[in-house]
Amino acid sequence: MSPHTRTRRLPRTLGLLAGPALLVLAPLAATATPTPEPTAEATPAGEVVLEATLDPQNVFAPPGSVVPIDAAVTNTGTAEMTGGSASFDVTGDDVTIAGVEGGDGCEQVTPQRVECRTDAALATGETATATFLVQLPDRMAEVVVGEATLHVVGGNGGEDTVTSVLEVGPPDGYHLRVTAPASAEGAAGATVALLTTVSNDGSVDIDGVSLDVDVPAGATVVGATGLDDCDVVSPRQLRCHTDQTLVAYDGYLEATVQVRFDDDAAAGDLGVATIRGAGDQGDEDTVDTAETALTVTAGAGAETGGYGGTASGGGTEAGTDGGTELPNTGGDELADTGAARLPVLLAGVVLLAAGAVVLLRTRRA
């Protein structure tokens, strides 16, 4: 019965009285035009309703981890879904998709996007699943590093989008990290500064850290600032130590290592400076190494400076860093090379000639 059709019920007594009348009118009613019965409304067609989920919704893992994110889409509507598509995207620097498991018809189109298509049906109440593997960045610059987003669309209706937040947390236990410039360059005789950071990315405090620096032939270690105790054990080796405590997760210290290129270093790639940090606890978990490529931009004597000396790659008028200085003669006078005696000798010759003339004149007189 339609919800819009109403039936009026006669009182029982009225129904009994009307009985004979209905019997009498029966022949007349047979000849009357029948009244059409109201039609029932059509049942509405089914609808596809899709609900997407990502688990976990908040990813929290150590740096460099590959994290599985479970994706699911459920048809919560009243009609069967016929075919559909889905896309999975990640954002953030150095955040990539490492793969997908269990997803039919999926293809990785970029390092940060996977697209999936299917012709299969998804009945009411059924769920389709897949697992996406996400590579987190190997750094600790920020806690929140990006997002993962799943977008699903049914072939005959239904659509949904869900997002997970990607966070990088500290590794469990000890974890030390050393960073330094990837490269440094300068002229022969020049000194370059290597800003080095030693940080505790782990979940345990580190009490005391050592820093060892080794440079290739053609360079020497001048020293370092920012650490308590440093010792140049050889022209190419520096050993430093500090008793400072690097607190868990965000404790760090900075040191500036000064490296000088030899005066006679030839232009070109010199090699790498190796900077090794080690915690007083944690064994190999608190050991890390950084390398800096060293390059000499101009060899010794490659350029002649102004007065005062020989420049080696962009010096000042009075000589350059690493240029060959002239010997100190004890003041502003140049060393005696004999050239200063020439005017005196010439003057003597003139005087002698004048004397000869006077002498001749005297004798003639």
CATH code for the domain of 119: 2.60.40.1530
- For 178-222, how does the pLDDT look when each residue is reduced to its tens digit (9 = 90+)? 999 999 999 999 999 999 999 988 888 999 999 999 999 999 999
**CB-CB neighbours of 336 under 10 Å:** 9
One-letter identity of residue 256:
T
Q: Residues 6 or more apart from 67 whose CB is under 8 A from it? A: 59, 61, 133, 134, 136, 166
Q: Does residue 44 lie within any of the structural domains? A: no
65, two tokens: 């981890």
Map residue 243 onto helix, strand or coil.
Answer: strand
Q: Are 221 and 240 in contact (CB under 8 A)?
A: no
Total count of residues recorded for the chain? 365
Which residues of the chain, if any, have pLDDT below 50?
1-31, 43, 301-365
The DSSP 8-state label assigned to residue 79 in this structure reads S
What totals of helices (H) and strands (E) does the chain contain, helices first? 2, 22
The residue from 296, 324, 353 where one domain ends is 296
Same structural domain for residues 122 and 140? yes
pLDDT at 263: 94
pLDDT at 250: 78
pLDDT at 226: 85
Same structural domain for residues 154 and 136? yes
pLDDT at 104: 79
Q: Is the peptide bond before 27 cis (omega within 30 degrees of 0)?
A: no
One-letter identity of residue 138:
D
Q: Residues 6 or more apart from 182 whose CB is under 8 A from it? A: 292, 293
Map residue 91 onto helix, strand or coil.
Answer: coil
**CB-CB neighbours of 105 under 10 Å:** 12
Q: Does residue 67 lie within any of the structural domains? A: yes
Dihedral, 231, 233, 237, 239 alpha carbons, nearest 10: -40
**Domain range holding 79?**
50-168
The residue from 140, 168, 196 where one domain ends is 168
d(CA 302, CA 299): 6
The residue from 239, 268, 296 where one domain ends is 296
200, two tokens: 């505790």
Q: Are 322 and 310 in contact (CB under 8 A)?
A: no
Q: Does residue 232 lie within any of the structural domains? A: yes
